[in-house]
Amino acid sequence: MQPSLIELPKHLDLRGNLSFIEEDTHLPFKIKRVYWIYDVPGGEVRGGHAFKETEELIVALSGSFDVILHDGEKEYKFSLNRSYYGVFIPKMMWRGLENFSTNSLAVIVSSTNYDADDYIRNFDDFIKQKKLT
């Protein structure tokens, strides 16, 4: 699978807009975990790893940031700044989040529970494992 930008539903209302995620409608996986990243100091980068089995959807609920992905051969860049767009990240995809704006909030919807053994934290090791698959 390739990474992709997913447009989520957007219901406009004068009282405020509403968007949502449904696992059987908007995601190609069942939701096991949801976590968020916030208060990222200027210039910091999050991520810097890949998952062997985990698939994710990343949404910028507030502010903006870039999602940089690498599949072992090609790099992808997604700039998120709207809460009704998310980036789908398939398993075995190196990821980094950077260029966080002030007060940005990233929510990540994950296909697995936390498992330290699912992480690949070294890019060279990631490339070696990609070549084996």
The set of catalytic residues is 49
> Closest Cα to residue 54, out of 110, 94, 3, 1?
110
d(CA 34, CA 65): 18
Both tokens assigned to 104? 């940005």
